[in-house]
Amino acid sequence: MAPKSTVYAFSIGLSDIDRGVYEELKLSVALHPSESVEFMLTRVLAYALEFAEGIAFSPGIGSPDEPAIAIKSLDGTPLAWIDVGSPSGERLHRAAKASSRVAVYCHRGADVTYQQLTQSPIFRGEEVLFFSFADPFIFELVTALDRRNEMSLSRSEQTLYISLNGKEFSTPLHERRLLG
C-alpha cells in the first residue's frame, strides 16, 4: 500500500503592497510522500504571491505536464504558468508557448538552477520570471510549520515579511529574468 499524502491547512492574511492585492486565503495543501516540506511550502508562498482570480494548484504529481500552479481565465484560457523548484529548460520552453506569463519560484540552489536555465533555449526566455529567497529562509519557515497554520504574508518593495504561527521571518524576494 502506497503512503498517503499529508494535508496542511493554511489561513493566510495576504497584503501584497507591491501588487495592490489584499486577501484572506484558506488553503488545504497536500504534501505528497515524494515531495519535500520545503517544496510544498514554496508552492504555498508562490500561490499567495501570484494570487489572482482563476488561480489553482495543479492536480498533483500525477500530472507532470501541468504547472505547480496555474491561473486560467473563466473560459479556461491559460494566463499564467507558475512552477516551483528546478524545472527543466524544455519544460519552461513548453510553458512559455502555452501561457502568456511564466514564473518560477526556486526553493533551493537558486543560483545553480538559474545558470542552468539561462543556458537552455527557452521560448520568450527574456519574459520568464525567476524568483528566489535568501538561502536559509524556506528552511527557517519549516521550523514553524504545523498541520494547521496561521500566516500573515506581506510584500513591500520586494521584501517578504511573514508571521507563521507566531514566529516572525523576513527575506528579500530576488527577481530575475531568464535571458533568451
| Crossing angle between the packed helical segments 110-118 and 89-98, to the nearest 10 degrees | 70
Cβ neighbours of residue 129 closer than 8 Å, sequence gap 6 or more: 101, 102, 103, 104, 175, 176, 177
Domains of the chain and any CATH numbers: 6-177 (3.10.640.10)
pTM given for the model: 0.93
Q: What is the pLDDT of residue 66?
A: 87
Q: Which of 127, 68, 124 is nearest to 93 (CA)?
A: 124
Burial class of 62 by CB neighbour count within 10 A (0 to 12, 13 to 18, 19+): exposed
Choose between 46 and 117: higher pLDDT: 46
Q: What is the pLDDT of residue 139?
A: 96
Q: What is the pLDDT of residue 47?
A: 98
| Cα 85 to Cα 45: distance, rounded to the nearest angstrom | 12
**Do residues 24 and 12 lie in contact, with contact meaning Cβ atoms separated by under 8 Å?**
yes
Q: What is the pLDDT of residue 61?
A: 62
Q: What is the pLDDT of residue 65?
A: 80
Q: Which of the four pLDDT bands, split at 50, 70 and 90, describes residue 141?
A: very high
Residue 15 predicted with pLDDT over 80: yes
Burial class of 153 by CB neighbour count within 10 A (0 to 12, 13 to 18, 19+): buried
What average pLDDT does range 62-91 have in this prediction?
A: 90
Q: Which of 89, 16, 72, 77 is nearest to 46 (CA)?
A: 16
Q: What is the pLDDT of residue 75?
A: 93
What average pLDDT does range 77-105 have in this prediction?
A: 93
* Structural Rg of the chain based on CA atoms: 16
Q: Which of 39, 33, 32, 179 is nearest to 109 (CA)?
A: 39
- Give the pLDDT confidence of 37-61 residue by residue, as tens digits: 999 999 999 999 999 999 999 876 6
Residue 180 predicted with pLDDT over 60: no
